[in-house]
Amino acid sequence: MLNYDSIRHVKGESIFLDDFGAPAGTLHGAVFYSPEAHGKIISLDTSEAEKHPGVKAIITAKDIPGENQIGGIIQDEKLFADTEVEFIGEPVALVIADNPLAARKAAKKIKIEIVPLEVITDPKTAFEKGSLIIKQARVYSCGSTDEAWKNCDFIFKGTAETGGQEHLYLETQSALAIPLEGGSIKIISSTQNPTAIQRTAARVLAVSDNAIESEAMRLGGGFGGKEDQATAWAVMAALGCRITGKSVKIVLNRQEDMRLTGKRHPYVSDYKIGLSKGGKIISYEVVFYQNAGAAADLSPAILDRTLAHCTGSYFIPNVKAEGYSCKTNLPPNTAFRGFGGPQGMFVLEAAIFNAAEKMKMEPRVIQEINLLNEGDAFPYGQKTEFCKAKECWNEAKSKFDFDSVKRETDEFNEANKLFKKGFAVMPVCFGISFTNTMLNQASSLVHVYADGSVSVSTGAVEMGQGVNMKLRQVAALTFGISVDKVKSEFTNTTRNANTSATAASSGADMNGNATKLACGEILSRLKNHYRRAAKLSENEPVEIENGYVISCGKKTDVTWERLTASAYRNRIDLSAHGFYATPKIYFDPRTNKGNPFAYHVYGTAVITVTLDCLRGTYEIDSVKAVHDFGKSINPVIDRSQAEGAVMQGIGWLTLEEVVHNEKGRLISDTLSAYKVPDIGFTPKKIEFLFLENNDRNAGVFNSKAIGEPPFMYGIAAYFALVNAVKAANKNSDVKISAPMTPEKAFMNIYGEKK
């Protein structure tokens, strides 16, 4: 059977949550949320909504049997606001009705009286007012910046800003809760983290974890937006199920999803950088003001990764990176591809750009001089191992000829007045593992059936990244059989307990290694069974290749199917549970030192753009990269993930602008107001070259994670556009504030002069 997700997607046969056949009599929920960004709740009137036809229940905080709390890292986020609201979109009540339309209409009849309080939307303002998620700063450091400044020939200061980003997954937040016998509830939801939903629902409903079965079928995209923020809607559905005794389904529409959920964290960051005359970075200080929104969500962990990646792909001997998670009156911001890493890297690239301009140097000269070498230490103490920073740079420099790109750009700009080109180079170094060591664990349950077919169940959630296919490949490669014999099951907490979220680019690594261990255990039993049947000694080699038993180096007529059937008849266990905990990683949050990452991924990209000086619009001409894929087990998936990641990174830094007004209301809450890269914006050329790499690492079969690292290449698009603006107006005082929308590009050309 051709059991491929890609084929099912194209044929329209893939089943997502809203396609699932809900039980007869399923009720539907609609959320009533705060219309104010901050204020005290004086009254809540649901009387008119209760009278609306089809309404079965209206649930508020007082109806919660357990804790009114869904916070993860910090317990600071209520399921339903009860006395105070802290952002527009904060859930206040859930209307349960016969159908979605009735529920939505009834929700509009709920009346709430709120006394407004001060609204804060800017992280620096929040910092100045002492509005912080965590009161103390997080600090990563090495060397002594205080001592190092006197050794610098040049010192520059500046500020860099990065905006938010809407996840815009195709499938909006959705959940279905189904009552089971004995008071248990099954929750099917569009989540990257089924275990978080299980635990949180149990806490809110005041039941044990085993009373909640949590399942994720497959997601129509996640990008981090369903790691933590899928929880609220799933728990609401479970609460509605408990109160009504019926199945309850909640599916947000697009505008609700955009209004009610958090985004990528905006940052405002101040930096100070010191260099030698030759361009060597001697000292670097940076303060990150992270806009966390109204609750912690995953902000502290995201800030840690920002700090961990503040030096990017460079070795800097003296660093002090300070970070504050600032509480504002916006929806809690959350995980997004890169998990804070891109925000940290962007600031250093801005500092290098500023220094290069003042020192009359090319930024790529400073970049190249400071690239990581083998054994260099990061500010958090870990040293590079199998460092590919310079190898990727040199390969890209050779293959794509940076000097020719520079020459061609200059020649074009000399010959054209109304169009200007720009280019920039971006090296990437990204650590792979959860920064919270505890989360670096995974399990896999593998069944081999008597007919030779294989079932693999893990904690990995398929959301378009191809993890199911990779896990099937792991099983097939381990067993020596065709991948068509292997099926990936939906992720379910009754099959795999205590799962970590599918995030941090670690889904294939950890779950793949767990699957390899489980398959290896079954394979060992099958080999021993064959030896006994063939009267071989335990030392005589037996392998399985291409579906046949290979005994003592010779192919036999025993097929995989014959072997599994025989093993079943002889009462051999054909099931195994594999558990994998990433080895050799640790981190001490008290000292902010350790080895938090299993390995690092490297790469270098050059991006060229063409700017229309009359309109401010632009095209991305090309994206060319040399990327450290490790030993890829599926080059097609890896290449597509790299291309998708870099396009999402380019979108974040160019077209995608999240806008709130001073009252905390999201202005860009429709797809007519929020722009993402479409097919017409796609670069004319995208080229990813695989760096030859057979080094041993923690990825399964020496592959490397692919989901997040290429996202950071998009930073080059921003600085390529800045260079194009400077080519149009050399006196332009470009404020380093992303995204560089066409409007900003235009104003930077024709706005205030130095």
pLDDT value at residue 692: 83
Secondary structure (DSSP) of 674-688: S----GGGS-SEEEE
Confidence category of residue 5, pLDDT binned at 50, 70, 90: confident
Nearest CA-CA partner of 629 in 697, 569, 680? 697
Q: Hey, what amino acid is at 96?
A: I
The answer to whether the CB of 459 falls within 8 A of the CB of 496 is yes
In a domain, 159, yes or no: no
Helix, coil or strand: residue 348: helix
Residues whose CB is less than 8 angstroms from the CB of residue 129 and which lie 6 or more positions away in sequence, other chains included: 120
577 is a domain residue: yes
Question: How far, in Å, are 17, 278, 292, 659 from residue 332 at the CA level?
Answer: 25, 44, 6, 15
Residues 463 and 404 occupy one common structural domain? no
- Residue pair 429/308 in contact (Cβ under 8 Å)? The answer is no
For tokens 């609460």, name the residue.
Answer: 239
610 has pLDDT over 80: yes
Percentage of residues in the chain with pLDDT exceeding 90?
97
Residue 294: predicted pLDDT:
98
Query: In this structure, how many other beta carbons lie within 10 angstroms of the beta carbon of residue 111?
Result: 12
Please enumerate in sequence order all residues whose Cβ is within 8 A of that of 529, keeping only pairs 6 or more positions apart, or say none.
563, 566, 567, 570, 572
Q: Are residues 478 and 602 in the same domain?
A: no
| pLDDT tens column, 252-286 | 999 999 999 999 999 999 999 999 999 999 999 99
Mind listing the pLDDT tens digit for each residue in 133-184?
999 999 999 999 999 999 999 999 999 999 999 999 999 999 999 999 999 9
Q: Where are the beta strands (DSSP E) in 201-310?
A: 212-216, 248-251, 267-275, 281-293
Q: Indicate the DSSP class of residue 59.
A: E
Q: How far apart are CA 686 and CA 644, in angstroms?
A: 10
Stated pTM of the model: 0.97
Within 10 angstroms of residue 115's Cβ, the number of other Cβ atoms is 11
Q: Do residues 529 and 570 touch, judged by C-beta distance below 8 A?
A: yes
Is 708 one of the catalytic residues?
Answer: yes
pLDDT tens across 507-518, in order?
999 999 999 999
Residues 411 and 482 in one domain: no
* Same domain assignment for residues 604 and 687: yes
* Domain boundary residue, one of 539, 564, 581: 581
242 lies in the same domain as 300: no
- Two structure tokens written together for 288: 């990150």
655-693 pLDDT per residue, tens: 999 999 999 999 999 999 999 999 999 999 999 999 988
Same domain, 311 and 392: yes
Among left, alpha and beta (phi > 0; psi -120 to 50; other), residue 520 is: alpha
**Nearby residues of 304 by Cβ (< 8 Å), 6 or more positions away:** 138, 323, 340, 435
| 106 found inside a domain | yes
In a domain, 153, yes or no: no
On whether residue 148 sits in a domain, the answer given is no
* Same domain? 563 vs 692: no
Q: How many domains does the chain have?
A: 3
CATH number for position 64: 3.90.1170.50
What tokens appear for 754 in the block? 């130095």
DSSP state of 630: B
Q: Where are the beta strands (DSSP E) in 560-670?
A: 575-581, 586-588, 593-595, 599-612, 618-627
Beta-carbon neighbour count of residue 451 at 10 Å? 11
Name the average pLDDT for the chain.
97
Give the ranges where 266-421 is alpha helix by DSSP (H). Answer: 299-308, 341-358, 363-369, 389-400, 402-415
Give residue 1's pLDDT band: very low, low, confident or very high (50, 70, 90).
very low
Together in a domain, 425 and 448:
no
Catalytic residue among 166, 391, 395, 708: 708
Residue 695: its pLDDT value, please? 83
Task: Mark whether 456 and 570 lie in a shared domain.
Answer: yes
Q: 112 phi and psi, to 5 degrees?
A: -135, 140
Residues 410 and 471 in one domain: no
User: Assign residue 187 a region: left if phi > 0, alpha if psi is -120 to 50, beta otherwise?
Assistant: beta
Tokens found for residue 706: 């692919």
Percent of the chain with pLDDT over 70: 99
The residue from 260, 282, 305 where one domain ends is 260
Our CA dihedral for 274, 280, 286, 288, rounded to 10 degrees, sits at: 150
Determine if the peptide bond prior to 739 is cis (ω within 30°).
Answer: yes
> 546: domain CATH number?
3.30.365.10
Checking if the pLDDT of 2 tops 80, the result is no
User: Do residues 603 and 724 share a domain?
Assistant: yes
- CA dist 696 and 448 (Å) reads 29
Beta strands in 449-563 (DSSP E): 454-458, 486-488, 491-492, 542-545, 548-551, 554-559
The rounded Cα 746 to chain-centroid distance in angstroms is: 32
**pLDDT tens string 193-215:** 999 999 999 999 999 999 999 99
Helix, strand, or coil (residue 114): strand
Count of residues in the chain: 754
Indicate the pairing of strand 419-432 with strand 599-612: antiparallel
Query: Which residue range(s) make up the domain with 543?
Result: 441-581
Instruction: Indicate whether 671 belongs to any domain.
Output: yes
- Domain contains 541: yes
Domain boundary among 527, 557, 581: 581
**Do residues 58 and 174 both lie within one domain?**
yes
Kindly state the greatest CA–CA separation across the chain. Answer: 87
Question: Are 633 and 703 spatial neighbours (Cβ–Cβ below 8 Å)?
Answer: yes
pLDDT tens, position by position, 694-751:
788 889 999 999 999 999 999 999 999 999 999 999 999 999 999 999 999 999 999 8
- pLDDT per residue over 348-365, tens digit each? 999 999 999 999 999 999
- pLDDT of residue 753 exceeding 80, the answer is no
Domain membership of residue 470 (yes or no) is yes
pLDDT band for 752, please (50, 70, 90 cuts).
low
Q: Is the pLDDT of residue 754 over 50?
A: no
What span, in angstroms and rounded, lies between the C-alpha atoms of 423 and 719? 7
Q: What is the pLDDT of residue 459?
A: 98
CB 493 within 8 A of CB 215: yes
CA-nearest of 673, 661, 474 to 578 is 474
